[in-house]
Amino acid sequence: MQPICLNRPTARFIALAWLLLALLLSGISSAWAQDDDNILPVTEAYKLKADASTPGVVKLHWDIAPDYYLYRGRMKFTGADGVTAGEARLPDGARHHDEYLGDVEIYHHEVDATVPYTVAPGTQRLKLAVRYQGCHEVEPKICYPPHTEQLDLPLPAGAAQADAAAPQTLGAALAQIGGTSPSTAAPGTDAAPLPAEQAFRFEALASKPNQLLLRWTMPKGYYLYRDQTSLHLNAAGLKLGQPQWPQGTVKQDPHFGKVTVYFDQVELPVAIQGDLAGRRQVAIEASFQGCQDGGLCYPLMTRAVDVDLAGGTTAVGQAAAGPAPETRPAAELEVSLWAALLLALGGGLVLNLMPCVLPVLSIKAVGLIESGESPAHRRRHALAYTAGVLVSFVVLGLVILSLKAAWGAQLQRPLVVAALSLVMLAVALSMSGVVQFGASLGNAGSGLASRAGLAGDFFTGVLAVVVASPCTAPFMGSALAYALAAPTAQAMLVFVMLGLGLALPFLAVGYVPALARLLPRPGAWMETLKQVLAFPMYLAAVWLAWVLANQRGADAVGLLLVAGVMLAMALWWFERSRYRSAGARSLAVLPLLLGLAPLYYLAHLPPPVAAASAAEGTVAFTPAKLAELRKAGTPVFVDMTADWCITCKANEHAVLATDAFRDLLKRTGAVYMKGDWTNEDPDITAFLQQYHTPGVPLYVVFPKHGGDGRKLPTVLTSSLVEQALTEAAK
């Protein structure tokens, strides 16, 4: 190989280039070293402190240096040497798009975590591995590798002993922070234990001026100890009499021996002894204990309640260390029976105009027109429809009063939603001419046909009530609140008046000849009108399918569509074989039976996984978050809604989903908190009961400097909301 010879200028150029490159690399290395000197060690960038003073819980706190952040999803907590860590409670972080990890949540400045734990018998130290990862977000932007700190802390007094004595104890009730994951639930339980506030709901009211009625409500599978309950009245000169416990269930307990416990719900009358002259309110404190049947037990819980002695107010117990419980003034329920009946009548009338009822009323409109000019036919239509409405309201009232259910709550049941959607589809197919259910009254000539027509009117009334119940029309709220607090006989009168109001327009047409003359005369055009009115019924079926999608996801809608096809096939064959043998007609039962299979699977679908956070600009409702915002002096607009609530959607479209409302929130510094009651939620149910509201929508504005929340009307206007938030921000 021949050597490469360079002339002198070229050599000088290359030497200069090497010199410049060396200087450049030296500068970069110096700058890198200088910047690297500014990067803090991981334990200084994220200073971790641990507090294990509470049995069953270790509280962790990170102080995060400026320009650094921690990943929420990269935290992991693992116990060692007899310590089992539960699911950590972490606050929501700030949204951040990471170049490598995608959409994540991060923490700046500081963050707290609470980790429940259990220890095996004989464990002496609390050993916990805490793993975390974070980054430096300004130049030089670097990310630390995952870092693990080994905590070795002394167990708090009583933690090891309590665990040895009761190995199934709920780790100090999971620190009452929200339970644990199913994987850490105790053997023998089907689900993770609920938070203490949900597992044992405590309420108190004054049944008489000198007697309290205390109530504990537990979900299925939980029980309360009778002899572990103590009561204390915080009122000078007054004391409680002997509690009058009802008969309970005798249980052999591994810790307390033979004990008396209560499942589901227990009501305890307690007399107040002493001079009550001039007193309007007393404070009672209850300490109690209970367990998950076959699972874990909770430590002693204490709830404090302020009770209005005037009655009519149910106070919900809160943890004694928390903020004072909010009670609704008894004046809100001070409505006379006659006023409540008038409000119920007016509310029933307005229900006729609600969008959820109008599709059903189209059936009735066709029936009235088809009745022609015969007064007897009109009266029979009106009476049959009214009977269906009244019977349905009586049944609905009995169910609500006996089960303490909420107005419209049946649409929280996916199977009910699916069944209603199929009923709407069947009625629409009938109106479109695919199938005929009985002969029309225009062609009636026999008693059988007449009975079929009246039965159709009756069940149209039933359907109207079922579809109307999710709607809360103006005037209804006060009437229903009165019904829920009044004696049973008076409450049922309210429900009857609601039904009478809903049926009143058809009664008027049936019995007032002047109104009947306004109806158009029968003709061939009626068949076309009937077919046109079928389309609102199809839309009602679609709306219910949309509600079902929000409750159980796309799989539920697919199963509903399969059931709908089976129903359409059955109706098609029933009509096609109308004049064939009974055996041929009975084949329509086969697709109906096949349609039950998808409904069965639909009823057992789990709810879809909830979104990680609420929609932009809103905060998901939880009692703890509401208490936190109120403690911080933040005005809060609480919106309790549901996908099946038409009034809620109308208010959202007209007021709450507008730029003007968002600007109002910014101007007043208020937080928009939203509770979704599409599916069952015990926290939202308790909030509705606290404000004596039979169902959604419910809007409450909490003022900046504390005090009672202001309950807004069911139908919102922009000016009303602006006035309420402006006053709350003062």
| Domains of the chain, CATH where assigned | 42-165 (2.60.40.1250), 196-327 (2.60.40.1250), 337-414+436-532 (no CATH), 619-728 (3.40.30.10)
With residue 116 as reference, give the H or E element that holds it. strand 110-119
What is the predicted pLDDT for the residue at 3? 46
Section 256-260 average pLDDT: 80
| Stretch among 185-194, 230-239, 557-566, 641-650 having the lowest mean pLDDT | 185-194
Residue 529 has pLDDT above 90, yes or no: no
What is the predicted pLDDT for the residue at 670? 93
Section 51-65 average pLDDT: 87
Segments in 39-170 forming alpha helices (H): 42-45, 159-165
Which band of pLDDT confidence, cut at 50, 70 and 90, is reported for residue 332? very low
What is the predicted pLDDT for the residue at 362? 58
For tokens 């009626």, the residue is 526
Amino acid letter, 150: Q
Which band of pLDDT confidence, cut at 50, 70 and 90, is reported for residue 364? low
- Per-residue exposure over 437-474, b if at least 16 CB sit within 10 Å of its own CB, e if not: bbebbeebeeeeebebbbebbbbbbbbbbbbbbbbbbb
Beta strands 257-263 and 265-273 are unpaired
Would you state the structure tokens that stand for residue 102, as one six-digit string?
Answer: 């995608």
What is the predicted pLDDT for the residue at 6? 46
Q: How far is CA 388 from CA 293, 382, 425, 457, 499, in A?
A: 43, 10, 20, 8, 9
Rounded distance between C-alpha atoms, residue 416 and residue 470, angstroms: 12
Q: For residue 8, count CB atoms less than 10 angstroms from its CB and return exposed for 0-12, middle for 13-18, buried for 19 or more.
A: exposed
Rounded distance between C-alpha atoms, residue 637 and residue 629, angstroms: 11
DSSP string, 587-613: TTHHHHHHHHHHHHHHHTPPPPPPPSS
Q: How far is CA 349 from the centre of its chain?
A: 29
Residue 505 has pLDDT above 50, yes or no: yes
What is the predicted pLDDT for the residue at 329? 36
Percent of the chain whose predicted confidence (pLDDT) is above 90? 11
Residue 169 has pLDDT above 50, yes or no: no
Which band of pLDDT confidence, cut at 50, 70 and 90, is reported for residue 438? very low
What is the predicted pLDDT for the residue at 195? 77
Rounded distance between C-alpha atoms, residue 233 and residue 226, angstroms: 18
Give pLDDT tens digits for 604-635: 887 765 544 455 678 989 888 888 888 888 99
Section 163-169 average pLDDT: 39
Instruction: Count the neighbouring beta carbons within 10 Å of the beta carbon of residue 371.
Output: 26
**Pair 456, 601: CB distance under 8 Å:** no
Rounded distance between C-alpha atoms, residue 107 and residue 98, angstroms: 13
Rounded distance between C-alpha atoms, residue 634 and residue 519, angstroms: 56
Rounded distance between C-alpha atoms, residue 313 and residue 335, angstroms: 13
| Bond prior to 140 in cis (omega within 30° of 0) | yes
Which band of pLDDT confidence, cut at 50, 70 and 90, is reported for residue 111? very high
**CA contacts within 13 A on the Cβ side of 493:** 14
What is the predicted pLDDT for the residue at 337? 76
Q: For residue 407, count CB atoms less than 10 angstroms from its CB and return exposed for 0-12, middle for 13-18, buried for 19 or more.
A: buried
Q: How far is CA 541 from the centre of its chain?
A: 23
User: Across the chain, what does the average pLDDT equal?
Assistant: 75
Which band of pLDDT confidence, cut at 50, 70 and 90, is reported for residue 178? very low
What is the predicted pLDDT for the residue at 674? 92
Residue 637 has pLDDT above 90, yes or no: yes
| Stretch among 19-23, 67-71, 420-424, 578-582 having the lowest mean pLDDT | 19-23
Which band of pLDDT confidence, cut at 50, 70 and 90, is reported for residue 108? very high
DSSP string, 461-515: HHHHHHHHTT---TTHHHHHHHHHHS-HHHHHHHHHHHHHHHHHHHHHHHH-HHH
Residue 298's SS3 state is coil
Residue 473 has pLDDT above 80, yes or no: no
Which band of pLDDT confidence, cut at 50, 70 and 90, is reported for residue 241? confident
**Pair 75, 90: CB distance under 8 Å:** yes
DSSP string, 619-655: EE--HHHHHHHHHTT--EEEEEE-TT-HHHHHHIIII
Section 350-361 average pLDDT: 64
Percent of the chain whose predicted confidence (pLDDT) is above 70? 71
What is the predicted pLDDT for the residue at 655? 92
| Bond prior to 146 in cis (omega within 30° of 0) | no
Give pLDDT tens digits for 681-705: 778 887 887 777 767 889 999 998 8
**Residue 297 gets which letter from DSSP?**
B
What is the predicted pLDDT for the residue at 702? 92
Rounded distance between C-alpha atoms, residue 528 and residue 532, angstroms: 6
With residue 527 as reference, give the H or E element that holds it. helix 525-552
Task: Report how many helices (DSSP H) and strands (DSSP E) the chain contains, helices first.
Answer: 22, 29
Q: How far is CA 90 from CA 97, 177, 191, 498, 676, in A?
A: 19, 10, 21, 47, 22
Residue 55 has pLDDT above 60, yes or no: yes
What is the predicted pLDDT for the residue at 172? 39
What is the predicted pLDDT for the residue at 668? 92
Q: What share of the chain is helix, strand, coil (3-state, %, to 5)?
A: 45, 20, 35
Beta-ladder partners of 699? 639
Residue 405 has pLDDT above 70, yes or no: no
Give pLDDT tens digits for 535-594: 877 887 888 888 888 888 888 888 899 999 999 888 888 888 877 777 887 888 888 898
Total residue length of the chain: 730
Section 286-299 average pLDDT: 79
Q: Which of 150, 101, 112 is nearest to 129 (CA)?
A: 150
Which band of pLDDT confidence, cut at 50, 70 and 90, is reported for residue 92? confident
What is the predicted pLDDT for the residue at 636? 94
